[in-house]
C-alpha cells in the first residue's frame, strides 16, 4: 500500500510539472493552426484578386500551410522540452530514403513546380503535344489532367509534358482558321478568288483588323489540282464553328459557280 501511495505521489508531481509545458504546447498548436488558416485565407483572396492560376494558387496555399505546421510542431516540441535535433536528423534520413525510392516521382514534382511558375500553359488552356490534345483541367505537383474533345480525362506525368514540345493554342485569344481548297487546273484563278472572298464576307464570327486580315492564296501546284488555302481569324472558342461553317459554305459556293473539286484519278491507255 505504501508503494502505491508513493507511485501515486510521484505521478501527481510529474503531471504537475508537465502540465504547464503541455498546456503551452497545446496553445502553440492551436495558435499555429489558426494562424495557418488566416494566412492561407488572406493569400488565397489576394491571388484571386490578382487572377492567379487556380492550380498555382492551390500549390502556394498548400506550401504555406505545410510550412506553418512544421514550425508549429517544432515549437510545440520545444515547449515540452523535447530535443528537436534528433527529430530533425530522423526526418532528414527519412526524406533521403523516400527520395531514393521515389526519384521518378520527384522528377514529376520538380517538373510540376517549373510548369506552375513558368506558366507555359494554365488551367483552361487548350494544349497539344505528342499524341494528346485537350483542355487543361488541373495542374498538380505530379501530373496534369487534360480533358480531350471526346470527353476523356487524361492524366499525364509532368515530366512527360516538360520533356515534350507543347503547342498552346489559347496563348492568344484570336486564332487562325485555315481551309485548304483544291481547284481544277483549267479553272479561272481570279474567279476562284472572287468566290472564296465572297464566302469569307458572308461567314459569321470572324475577327478582322490590321494584324488579322483574311486571305486567299494559291499555295501549291498539286498532282491533280491547284491547291488554294483560305485563312481567316476568330476567337478560340469559335474555332470549330467557323471551320465547319466555312468549309460547308465553300463547297456550296463552288457548286453554285460550277467549279468542281478535283480528285485523284488514274488514266489507263491501252496500246494494241
Q: Are residues 140 and 85 in the same domain?
A: no
Q: Are residues 128 and 40 in the same domain?
A: no
pLDDT for 11 equals 54
Higher pLDDT, 148 or 18: 148
Residues 6+ apart with CB under 8 A from 236: 126, 169, 170, 173, 174, 175
What's the angle, vertex CA 47, arms to CA 42 and CA 53, rounded to 5? 145
Q: Are residues 163 and 201 in the same domain?
A: no
Q: Residue 82 falls within a domain, yes or no?
A: yes
Q: Residue 109 falls within a domain, yes or no?
A: no
Q: Residue 205 maps to which CATH number?
A: 3.30.70.100
Q: Residue 23 maps to which CATH number?
A: 1.10.287.1260
pLDDT confidence of 23, banded at 50, 70, 90?
Answer: confident
pLDDT for 244 equals 93
pLDDT in tens, 191-224: 999 999 999 988 888 888 888 889 999 989 888 8
pLDDT for 233 equals 92
Q: Are residues 199 and 231 in the same domain?
A: yes
Is residue 79 over pLDDT 80? Answer: no
Residues 6+ apart with CB under 8 A from 264: 223, 224
Give the predicted TM-score (pTM) of the model: 0.57
Is residue 245 over pLDDT 90? Answer: yes
pLDDT for 133 equals 84
The CA distance from 162 to 125, in Å, is 16
pLDDT for 251 equals 93
- Mean model confidence pLDDT for the chain: 82
Q: Residue 268 falls within a domain, yes or no?
A: no
Which domain, by its residues, includes 62?
2-101
Q: Residue 267 falls within a domain, yes or no?
A: no
Residues 6+ apart with CB under 8 A from 247: 179
Q: Are residues 162 and 220 in the same domain?
A: no
Percent of the chain with pLDDT over 70: 82
Split into its structural domains, the chain has a count of: 3
pLDDT for 16 equals 59
Of 135, 114, 137, nearest to 55 (Cα)? Answer: 137
Amino acid at each position: 500500500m505504501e508503494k502505491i501511495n508513493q507511485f501515486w505521489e510521484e505521478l501527481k508531481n510529474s503531471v504537475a510539472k508537465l502540465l504547464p509545458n503541455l498546456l503551452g504546447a497545446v496553445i502553440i498548436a492551436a495558435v499555429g493552426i489558426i494562424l495557418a488558416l488566416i494566412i492561407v485565407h488572406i493569400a488565397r483572396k489576394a491571388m484571386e484578386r490578382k487572377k492567379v492560376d487556380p492550380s498555382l494558387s492551390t500549390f502556394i496555399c498548400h506550401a504555406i500551410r505545410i510550412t506553418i505546421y512544421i514550425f508549429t510542431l517544432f515549437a510545440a516540441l520545444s515547449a515540452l522540452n523535447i530535443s528537436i535535433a534528433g527529430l530533425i536528423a530522423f526526418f532528414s534520413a527519412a526524406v533521403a530514403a523516400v527520395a531514393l525510392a521515389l526519384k521518378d516521382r520527384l522528377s514529376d514534382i520538380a517538373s510540376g513546380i517549373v510548369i506552375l511558375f513558368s506558366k507555359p500553359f494554365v488551367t483552361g488552356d487548350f494544349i497539344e503535344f505528342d499524341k494528346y490534345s485537350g483542355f487543361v483541367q488541373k495542374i498538380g505537383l505530379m501530373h496534369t489532367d487534360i480533358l480531350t474533345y471526346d470527353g476523356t480525362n487524361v492524366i499525364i506525368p509532368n515530366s512527360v509534358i516538360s520533356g515534350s514540345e507543347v503547342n498552346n493554342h489559347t496563348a492568344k485569344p484570336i486564332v487562325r482558321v485555315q481551309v485548304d481548297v483544291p481547284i481544277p487546273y483549267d479553272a479561272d484563278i481570279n474567279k476562284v478568288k472572287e468566290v472564296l472572298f465572297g464566302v469569307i464576307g458572308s461567314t459569321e464570327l470572324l475577327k478582322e483588323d490590321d494584324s488579322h486580315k483574311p486571305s486567299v492564296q494559291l499555295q501549291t501546284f498539286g498532282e491533280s489540282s491547284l491547291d488554294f488555302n483560305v485563312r481567316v481569324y476568330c476567337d478560340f472558342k469559335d474555332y470549330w464553328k467557323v471551320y465547319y461553317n466555312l468549309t460547308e459554305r465553300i463547297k456550296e459556293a463552288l457548286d453554285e459557280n460550277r467549279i468542281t473539286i478535283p480528285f485523284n484519278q488514274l488514266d489507263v491507255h491501252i496500246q494494241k
